[in-house]
Amino acid sequence: MTPPEPTDDRHPIDDLVREHLDREAAGVDAARVLARVRAAPAAPRRRLPRWVGPFALGLGVGAAAAAALVLLTPDPPAPNPVVVVPQSPAPAELVRAAVTVHSDDTDRRYEVKVERGDLAALARRFPHLPPPQYHELVRDSTLWVRGEQFWVDPGPDAKTRAWGRDRDGRVWVALGPRLGVQFAREEAGDPIARLCDQMSLRVPTLAAEMLDGYELSREDGPDGGESVVRIAGVLREPGREYATPRVWLEIDPRTKVIRKAVQKRVVFGEAVGTFTYTLQETAKLPDSLYDVRGHLDPGARVWDARNPQARTDQWNRWPAWKR
């Protein structure tokens, strides 16, 4: 389809504007305007002071040198990062960690060394007390410990075969291959309890006493505690009748296992002796070795405090079984 021809819609005002512009253009003489421009004098050149040239040159050279210096100068080193050095564990934290480690079912063998004090002076001052030298079981021994359980091998020349504490907290003594004595659960202040504290290394009990009644301090070696950490404990109330005024623990900083423990014990202010426990090995033993029957021959007799027909209440106290 062919589009329609455009219509002429020019307004009359357009004609009037065009006639005005044509008259203005006809009155301009282009040749005369060009001649006037050519005949006009050139504007004088403005001269700069003499010092401007060297100054500008210096600025340019300085700017170039500064740019080169920026490009050639290496980036400044980053500030040293803030290294947060972890604080060494506090003594109480290390003791709690040792409790956690020693509360499992691992069996650890310690060598027990007993350095006796002046027992003669103790006997003269307190003749009614049985000094530890009369306790045949207080001697250099081999100690196996599992949490609160333990058993002691007093050696081949001892009168007893073994003694210890079972999982129920009952102390037992294997007097020989055919006879054993099993006491009732020891009580605080009982001679049996004192004997267990002296010869055993029940870490949960020892740690509870240290956290509750001792001033603890940490003593690191020259390597800053990398190989071993030593915890020293001083009793806050040293005036007790039976007391351990000082305790030292050497703890492995990695495993938190007690490698060595030293306990100094006194009775009524008189030194009884120093007990040193040194870790020898870690193993897994049968459960029966923590029970009296595990050290007796089959069919051996056991005097048990829980059986009133087999024995009387006198067996509930340590000295009684020797009567």
What phi and psi values does residue 9 have, to the nearest 5 degrees? -105, 30
**For position 262, what pLDDT does the model report?**
93
What's the predicted TM-score (pTM) here?
A: 0.65
In this predicted model, what pLDDT tens digit does every residue of 216-254 receive, in sequence order? 999 877 777 688 899 999 988 876 666 788 899 999 999
Q: What is the mean pLDDT of residues 56-68?
A: 52
Q: Which ranges constitute the DSSP H helices of 2-51?
A: 12-26, 30-39
| All domains of the chain in start order, with CATH | 91-322 (2.50.20.10)
> How many Cβ atoms from other residues are within 10 Å of residue 91's Cβ?
23
* CB-CB contact of 266 with 256 (8 Å): no
| Buried/exposed code over 14-39 (b: 16+ C-beta within 10 A; e: otherwise) | eeeeeeeeeeeeeeeeeeeeeeeeee
Check pLDDT > 60 for residue 187. Answer: no
Model pLDDT for residues 200-211, shown as the tens digit of each residue: 788 888 888 888
Nearest partner of 93 among 283, 237, 249, 238, judged by Cα: 249
Return the number of other C-beta atoms located less than 10 Å from residue 71's C-beta: 7
d(C-alpha 290, C-alpha 293), whole Å: 9
Type of residue at 296:
L
124-145: b (≥16 Cβ within 10 Å) or e: eeeeeeebbeebebbbebebbb
Residues 107-124 have pLDDT tens digits of 999 999 988 777 667 667
Exposure string of 298-319, with b = 16+ CB inside 10 Å and e = fewer, is: eebebbbbeeeeebeeebbebe
